[in-house]
Amino acid sequence: MPAPVRKAVIPAAGLGTRFLPFSKAVPKEMLPVVDRPVIQYVIEEAVDAGIEDILVITSRHKKVMEDHFDRHPELESALEAKGKNAEAATVRDLSSMADIHFVRQGEALGLGHAIGMAANHVGDEPFVVLLGDDIMRGPVLKGMVDLYAKHESSVVALMEVPQEDISSYGCAAADAIEGADNAVKVTELVEKPAVEDAPSNLAVMGRYLFTPTIFEEIAKTQPGVGGEIQITDAMAALMGREDMLGFTFTEGRYDTGKKIDYLRAMVDLSLQRDDLGPEFREILAETVRREGIV
């Protein structure tokens, strides 16, 4: 029986240049989507998939993320004194969602380097990686964990994108697995290929499940695209030693590092809220009427 997947690594050390000037002082992972920062959605997704232990790879300018998941006794007491017990519980629960740890990446040396920093923490266990600015709604991570439990192979989340956009992503070629609706066997991985060289339009989408063997391959990986240690290169090497599967999905992903996707996340997730959705829907409908949008 395979070891359970208990640990997660969340790389969140990037500069967030697509959100300047906001991200000069505030990490992009702390962008609010209604009343929760993006990083909280990511951690909640991990917890919902059964993860108990989370390591966040951060940087010297992002201490506010650590503060968000720490206790704040003064605030809790002030809320309780005003009879706001539900709000106090919400604040208190942030520190007990999971065992959450933080380590700083001293230099921006790539996603592969950031994940490699988790080797001692993860040890010889399988683990998941969730990019810190990607919100996923739906059963993607849980599906990946279930796929690992069946095959004991590393798994990567894959989604089709327009062919002209594939050069912005890691790209996978894959073969179908008989009888599996969402699972494919990955046969090739290329980091940000030119459109004419891409083996498919299947893009790697911010969620990974690795066996601990990936750390050996990261350690051997030389800097690639952009002078960084690319996790895609380490994954390609890993495929020479063991199978890699893909979990395919079609919707529910928001890359909140992109302004337009952040706005889409704000709208979609607001509409799903029972306390905000009905009134917000009316506001949107009125805006559409006023602007003459059809």
pLDDT of 265:
96
Tokens representing 42?
A: 């990511």
Domain 7-257 architecture: Alpha-Beta Complex (3.90)
Q: Which residues of 233-252 are buried (b: 16+ CB within 10 A; e: fewer)?
A: bbbbbbbeeeebbbbbbeee
What residue ranges do the domains of the chain occupy? 7-257, 258-294
State residue 210's pLDDT score: 97
Closest CA to 157 of 45, 37, 52, 65: 45
Residue 294: predicted pLDDT? 65
**Global confidence as pTM:** 0.93
- Cis peptide upstream of residue 193 (ω within 30 degrees of 0): no
pLDDT value of position 178:
79
Q: What is the mean pLDDT of each run of 10 residues along the chain (294 residues)?
A: 90 89 92 95 96 95 93 95 94 93 90 95 96 92 94 94 90 85 90 88 94 96 83 92 94 92 96 95 93 77
